[in-house]
Amino acid sequence: MAQITNFLHLHQFVGDLDCRTGASGSGILGVPKPIMVSVNRTFFRRALAVAAYLVVAASVSAQTTPEFADRFVAMTAVTGYEQRMAETLVDWLPFADRDRAGNVVAVIGSGSPVRLAVCPMDERGYIVGRILDDGFLTLRRVGGGGPLFDQGLEGHRVAVWTDGGPVPGVVSIPSTHLGRGRASQPDRPFDVDDAIIDVGADSAADVAALGVRVLDAVALAKRAHRYGESLLAGPEAGRRAGCAALARAASTVASGEVLGTVVIAFVVESYLRHSGLRVVARTHGPFSATWLIDYEVPDRALGEDFGGVERSRLPVRFEATPVETVDLVDADALSDRLIAWAGTQP
């Protein structure tokens, strides 16, 4: 059985719950309890923690790669704004933790060799650049994108990710009818500077009442779109399916055998300057081997801390479009390879 170094994390969480409801060992009316009850409480807490872990671990490991992939594709994590996705991942993978950079990291097993498997959580997207007096929003791009990347926004629904959760909006498009008989739509592609977001507000005060602020992340509204026998479409579907393969592998090997120490990391800011990856290397490296999953990192950014580097990328169609398509059979095969890799000599 692999060592789950973060088991204590869950135990402490259950203990915290007890502290909030049990008022430091007092009964509900504040009457001190006999010591024997206290011992039983400790035993009970541990039993509860073990049971809770087993339930969570069993439910998560029961998820297939396609199930993970559906959920990953529907999530939003604009570069630098990965917190919500990280929180969700920690819920799914209770043996993992968030580090100070915001990465989600699970350390499985112990001793050497120490190896790393990593995928990026983040995606190209936008932030609110300005809130106009009439209640419309304008955008700034985060993370780059190809010549038609922004065009995926035009005339489509977006979510503005506020502290209170997602606020729906739409990207304005000239009314088809009103263009008839007048100068036509320009032939150049739609650009982020053309984007005017309508959240159903008439003033900046209305926008504020919705909880929307300058710098909030903005991305296309998403849902997993399955088609064909085993195809999954969505923005950055390849990356997200790669992460799903890693999540399924992590949940499987966490309760099985691994060789030495396997560090599994879902990292932030891959589209910025790879700071998430650097933090993993500094806190858990050096590694004898690294597996980069759907993560393009220039060699100069890696250095010696990463050991021998293997790169894999799921084959995709319609790359970098809102319907980037990945075959979940490929993702499942990748997950199987990762599981085998975790338990074998590099």
Cβ proximity to another protein: between 100 and 182 the closer is: 182
- Is the CB of 170 or the CB of 272 nearer to another protein? 170
CB 342 → another protein: shortest distance, Å?
32
Phi/psi region, residue 274 (left: phi>0; alpha: psi -120 to 50; beta: rest), is left
CB of 228 to another protein, least distance (A): 2
- Report how far residue 97's alpha carbon sits from residue 265's, in angstroms, rounded to the nearest whole number: 10
Q: Say how far apart CA 61 and CA 71 lie, in whole Å.
A: 15
Contact between residue 138 and residue 288 where contact means Cβ atoms under 8 Å apart: no
Q: Cβ(143)–Cβ(271) under 8 Å?
A: yes
Ramachandran class of 199: left when φ > 0, alpha when ψ lies in -120 to 50, beta otherwise: alpha
- The minimum distance between CB 144 and another protein, in angstroms, equals 16
Which residues have C-beta within 8 Å of that of residue 117, sequence separation ≥ 6? 246, 249, 262, 263, 264, 265, 290, 291, 293, 338, 341, 342
Tell me the closest approach of the beta carbon of residue 191 to another protein, in angstroms: 10
Residue closest to 19 by CA, chosen among 37, 45, 47: 45
Residue 100 or 188: the one with the smaller Cβ distance to another protein is: 188
Q: How far is CA 25 from CA 21, 39, 155, 243, in A?
A: 10, 11, 58, 43
By CB under 8 A, name the binding residues for another protein. 132, 134, 136, 146-148, 151-152, 154-157, 168-178, 180-182, 185-190, 196, 198-202, 206, 209-210, 223, 225-229, 231, 233, 318, 321-323, 325
DSSP string, 99-131: -TTS-EEEEEE-SS-EEEEEEE--B-EEEEEEE
Q: Look-up: residue for tokens 């309508």?
A: 198
Q: Which backbone phi and psi does 137 adopt, to 5 degrees?
A: -120, 150
CB of 180 vs another protein, minimal distance in Å: 5
Q: Kindly tell me which of 18 and 154 has the beta carbon lying closer to another protein.
A: 154
Of the pair 1, 183, the CB lying nearest another protein is at: 183
Q: Which is nearer to another protein, 197 or 281 (CB)?
A: 197
**Of the two residues 320 and 333, which places its CB atom closer to another protein in the complex?**
320
DSSP H helices, the chain, are 7-22, 35-61, 65-73, 83-92, 204-209, 237-253, 275-284, 328-342
Measured from the CB atom, the residue of 40 and 203 that comes closer to another protein is: 203
CB of 150 to another protein, least distance (A): 11
In this structure, are residues 291 and 312 in contact, taking their beta carbons and an 8 Å threshold? yes
Provide the minimum distance between the beta carbon of 62 and another protein in the complex, in angstroms, as a whole number.
Answer: 20
Query: Tokens 């199987």 label which residue?
Result: 336
DSSP 293-307: ES----GGGT-GGG-
Considering the complex, state which of residue 59 and residue 185 has its C-beta at the smaller distance from another protein.
185
Nearest distance from residue 188's CB to another protein, in Å?
6
CB of 343 to another protein, least distance (A): 34
